[in-house]
Amino acid sequence: MSEEKKTFYITTPIYYPSDNLHIGHTYCTVMADAMARFKRLQGFDVRFLTGTDEHGQKIQEKAKDKGVTPQAYVDEIVAGIKKLWATMEISYDDFIRTTEPRHMKRVQEIFMKMYQKGDIYKGAYEGWYCTPCESFWTETQVGEGHVCPDCGRPVQKANEEAYFFKLSKYEEPLRKLLKGGEFLQPESRVNEMLGFIDQGLEDLCISRSSFDWGIPVPIDEKHVMYVWLDALSNYITALGYPEVEGESSELYKKYWPADYHLVGKEIVRFHSIIWPAMLMSIEEPLPKHVLGHGWLLIDGGKMSKSKGNIVDPVVLIDRYGVDALKYFLLREYTFGQDGAFTNEVMLNRMNYDLANDLGNLVSRTVSMVEKYCAGIVPAAGVDEGPDAELKELATTCYERVEKRMDKFEFNLALEEIWTVIRRTNKYIDETAPWVLAKDESGKARLDAVMHNLIESLRIVSILIFPFMHHTSAEIMKQIGLAEHVCDGAACTIKTPTPVWEDAKVFDKMAGQKVEKGEAIFPRLDINKELEELEAMKAPAVKPVCTKELIEFDDFEKIDLKTGTIIKAEKHPKADKLLVFQVDFGGEVRQIISGVAGSFKPEECVGQHVVAVVNLKPRMLRGLESNGMLLYACSEDGKFKFVETKADNGVEVG
């Protein structure tokens, strides 16, 4: 009987299909894909899950804005996401959509299990809700500005009857789980989560009744489930948990608990507190690891449509190819840390590592075997000079890659492989085959050198397979490992699936016929590329409304009047403040504004302005300000007066 393979279950977050995915989502999925491919290569029975998180208020609102049903809205975006993953050849085994019946019915079962356990009760929710993050927050957490502590956007007041999950009951086991040291990585996140628990876990609101795009709560049709309860369950519903009549839960038995949930740092909290607590409630095993990765930042911040700085992976793939993009993402960033994305950094990586180091090595080596050995790889020779060192480095690289990959250090795993590539390039310079080729006495040595170069490349082609499988296949083809399968006039080229064990030996290639091909990574003209990428940038889309909606009555409460500044001077005790005397057509008022950075006092005199005149007077550094002038504030922090042509004291509205 054959020995059962060890299983390995890895997941990505299921992404919101509220917009097309960008390079940040691609980064996470590419890491999961590389790990899945690596584990398969090592002989594991791998299950790799990704998908989309399709319910919730945000999606419902987006669909409404577009004038389509939420289902039609998500269907279109999910089709685009699946196309992107197909282009990138993401090797997922399953793609779960939370709007699929297989998921929805199981989430309802999970809810019932938690309810029957006595962990769900009905109450009233009063607090704040961030729709883009689909997160609940308390008054203290949102602060005076009423913004989401996670994303900084305005939150909305939520005041509804709701169901609650007794999260507080699991405080102690959660603390123990996190302190165990293995569950959550990186380490820095553990302390953050423990700090969160130490503030006291409140029971979690798990239903909403103010919108209806969600999975109905099975015991109360007025409610839909909180989108995170729905979303987190995907990791087990996709495996067929809980068992429902007529459908198998074999996958669950085989693959659960997950080995790794790979998630961005902003959702570590949901995965390392709420998710394990849900599993504790339904008495199922906990995932082995949650890994929080960092963000790709643009201009020091997260990508956002409003800033117009979204990086579209499709544009990059079209220009540079899937493998170059994957390589860059995996090589450039350190797992767990944030990293700046710039086109320049990306293009330099592609040129130095791919075109110069790897591309050159392949083309030089294959050309030399063609030229000096009639295209046939010679047999091994006697070790001389740097041979032993090269062999040792190449045949032991797999161990170092394994160690790095065990820790999700993709960048260092690739660096290990590039050490072999660079060493091999150096080997060419040291052995100078063109000199050996000058006379017959150098032939034996020349053959040995060519053999070693090809062996080294063969090992590289195996080692890079999890990260860049096209390039791996292309190298195999050029060094003579491809099989040409012809059926009549049509021929296809087949390259073997690499075998990890083969990266440990150095004598596989004698007698193979090399086959020179195109340069695997042509050199890029960086300045030209930078210009063209810049020209393609999507213009910033700025939403006009960035605050909570208000009622007309709220607006009516504001008393706006026109006036003229008749006197302006610096505040004696505050550098940033200017003190104005404003004539409102009879009444002159003192109004203080924090605009000293934008105007000199003398420029302001005579200025026609608009002011809020029913704001309660406030003392500002010892002087009273009675009202507020209106300004437009541009992104560079400079103010401009909102001017008027009307007489003083006229109502504005």
Asked if 153 contacts 130 with a C-beta cutoff of 8 angstroms, the reply is yes
Is 128 an interacting residue with respect to ligand ME8 (CB under 6 A)? Answer: no
Structure letter (DSSP) for residue 376:
B
Decide if 625 contacts 592 (C-beta within 8 A).
yes
Q: Which one, of 509, 500, 499, 495, lies nearest residue 457 by Cα?
A: 509
Applying CB under 6 A, among 224, 296, 325, 421 the residue interacting with ligand ME8 is 296
Say whether residue 13 binds ligand ME8 (CB under 6 A). yes
Distances in Å between the Cα of 149 and the Cα atoms of 143, 146, 197, 241 are 9, 9, 16, 34
Binding status of residue 295 toward ligand ME8 by CB under 6 A? yes
- Residues 41-60, interacting with ligand ME8 (CB under 6 A): 53
**Is the sign of the CA dihedral 371, 376, 377, 382 positive or negative?**
negative
User: Which runs of E-coded beta strand occur in 456-539?
Assistant: 483-487, 490-494
Residue in 444, 436, 473, 446 with CA at minimum distance from that of residue 457: 473
Give, in degrees to the nearest 5, the angle at Cα 65 between 63 and 68: 40
Confirm if 236 and 14 have CB atoms less than 8 A apart.
no
How many CA atoms within 13 Å lie on the side-chain side of 168? 9
CA distance 128 to 135: 8
The answer to whether 167 and 277 have CB atoms below 8 angstroms apart is: yes
Handedness of CA 81, 82, 84, 89 (dihedral sign): positive
User: Which of 232, 347, 604, 611: binder of ligand ME8 (CB under 6 A)?
Assistant: 232
Nearer to ligand ME8, 270 or 418 (CB): 270
Residue type, 267: I
Beta strands at 588-593 and 574-583: parallel, antiparallel or unpaired = antiparallel
Q: What would the two tokens of residue 345 be?
A: 């950094």
Q: Which of 25, 189, 289, 589 binds ligand ME8 (CB under 6 A)?
A: 25
Q: Report, in Å, the least distance between residue 323 CB and ligand ME8.
A: 20
User: Which one, 292 or 466, has the nearer CB to ligand ME8?
Assistant: 292
Closest to 276 in 3D by CA, of 350, 193, 393: 193
Asked if 223 interacts with ligand ME8 (CB under 6 A), we say no
Site string for ligand ME8, 66-105 (x = CB under 6 A): ----------------------------------------
24 touches ligand ME8 by CB under 6 A: yes
CB of 295 or CB of 584, closer to ligand ME8: 295
Two structure tokens written together for 75: 């269907």
**According to CB under 6 A, which one of 9, 10, 14, 48 is a site residue for ligand ME8?**
14
Q: Which stretch binds ligand ME8 (CB under 6 A): 13-21, 454-462, 508-516, 642-650?
A: 13-21
Residue 311 sits in the site that holds ligand ME8 (CB under 6 A):
no
Contacts (CB under 6 A) with ligand ME8, residues 255-294? 263-264, 266-267
Per CB under 6 A, which region of 8-16, 108-116, 196-204, 470-478 contacts ligand ME8? 8-16
Helix axis angle, 387-406 to 443-463, nearest 10°: 0
> Which one, 263 or 460, has the nearer CB to ligand ME8?
263
Asked if 16 is part of the footprint of ligand ME8 (rule: CB under 6 A), the reply reads: yes
Taking the complex as a whole, how short is the minimal distance between the CB of residue 176 and ligand ME8, in angstroms? Answer: 23
Which position among 10, 28, 142, 167 is part of the footprint of ligand ME8 (CB under 6 A)?
Answer: 28
The DSSP string of 189-238 is HHHHHHHHHHT-PPPEE-EE-S---SPEETTEEEEEE-HHHHHHTHHHHT
Please identify, among the stretches 11-19, 480-488, 489-497, 592-600, the one whose residues bind ligand ME8 according to the rule CB under 6 A.
11-19
The residue (of 25 and 391) whose beta carbon lies closer to ligand ME8 is 25
Applying CB under 6 A, what is the total number of residues that bind ligand ME8?
20
Q: Which span sits near ligand ME8 by CB under 6 A: 20-28, 403-411, 474-482, 582-590? A: 20-28
Token pair listed for 24: 């940040």
Tokens 């975006």 sit on residue: 77
Q: How far is the CB of 271 from ligand ME8 (least distance, A)?
A: 7
Nearer to ligand ME8, 190 or 453 (CB): 190
CB of 653 to ligand ME8, least distance (A): 40
- Chain residues binding ligand ME8 by CB under 6 A are 13-16, 24-25, 27-28, 53, 231-232, 234, 263-264, 266-267, 295-296, 302-303
